[in-house]
Structure 1
Amino acid sequence: MSQRIPSLAERTKVAIELGIIEPGEVLTPLQQKKLAQTIQIAEAEEADEAEADASDPIPLIVKVHADLIEAGLSDLAAARIAAALAPDIWRANQGAAHARTH
């Protein structure tokens, strides 16, 4: 399976986020190549983790919490919402796996 090639804009954004360049600076060809490879590796690892974690409810609950904080909720509010959703997430993933084995 071939990986997509990240755009120059994506590579530049990552370079700025990582502090490799400052906004307005231009990436060298070598930096562009290394950043494209880095982005591809990160995407492949994320896909592998998502596939491995698909039946494990704990990472899903943690992701819900993190996404809520990223959306602007306080840590306490995000924790309460994640806790309220946790049983449903657990049943939808872990519970379904147990139900098939019994």
Structure 2
Amino acid sequence: MSIEITVVFDVVPDRLEDVVDAFKDLCAATRKEEGALRFDAFLSQEHGSAVVLVEEWADQEAIDLHMKEEHTAAFLARVDGAYRTAPQVHRLRPLDA
């Protein structure tokens, strides 16, 4: 069974454009990784400065490798200090599991 994760980022409004660009680059690079089944970022229509990341991974090993990638480290450095609060990470499981 794959691993699905949703992360909500509350972005400082004056950093939003930079963060969106950083997410675009991260998504493009991550989608090329083995084990990345889905990696999409969205802007919330209800909360203008919230970015929502929707991920699906083949397994924990793929996630661990992703966190060691150069493009992941570059993304983290690029968005450092851009969030009003810590990202809300939701590792999902089906209701019938």
TM, length-normalised to structure 1: 0.24
Larger helix proportion of the pair: 1
Query: RCO (CA 8 Å, sep 6+): is it higher in 1 or 2?
Result: 2
More strand per residue: 2
Larger Rg: 1
